[in-house]
Amino acid sequence: MKKILTICCLSIFFLSCEAQPDPTSFSTDALNDTFVNSEGESVTLQSILDSHKGKTILIDVWASWCRDCIVGLPNLKKLQEEHAEVVYLFLSMDKTQKSWKAGIKKYEIEGEHYFMPSGWDGVFSDFIDLDWIPRYMIVDKDGKIKLFRAVKISDPKIKEHLK
């Protein structure tokens, strides 16, 4: 009887600890977080997303010092060729705007670029539970997050959500 009771209690515990589903929309705080565009202007995530309403967006959180980010660039560029209709937003975790801009130039990264002044400690980073870069997300034409977490550009879920 003790064994059955223990199994029941453990089952209830593990079922109650089930992982929460990934969010399908950005929080208000994340939408109000600010980024810096290539002209040095401060813009909110909301304004960035609004400028691409009706389009599929691939978000790439990266940094020029990140080995995994750089190693994935050839596959990302191939993806850009295959899905030219997609908007590619690059959100940089570089420590300075100078290194951010130098990285874009050095690696010839095509797309729309923003610098994250708050870095790992910002509202956006907290919202996406950022613990690793690169980090890829897909936002669909309706502004819904279709893919919340991918850490490799070769993740098959990325192509699946770009179709």
CATH number for position 98? 3.40.30.10
Q: Answer for the pair 33, 45: CB distance below 8 angstroms, yes or no.
A: yes
Pairing relationship of beta strands 145-150 and 57-62 according to DSSP bridges: unpaired
pLDDT digits (tens, 9 = 90+) for 113-150: 999 999 899 999 999 999 999 999 999 999 999 999 99
Average pLDDT of the segment spanning 56-67: 97
Q: Which residues contact 143 (CB under 8 A, 6 or more apart)?
A: 25, 49, 53
In-domain check, residue 77: yes
* Banded pLDDT at 80 (limits 50, 70, 90): very high
Q: Is the pLDDT of residue 16 over 50?
A: no
pTM (2 d.p.)? 0.87
Q: Which residues contact 101 (CB under 8 A, 6 or more apart)?
A: 38
Q: Domain of 127?
A: 22-162
In-domain check, residue 15: no
Average pLDDT of the segment spanning 74-97: 97
In-domain check, residue 4: no
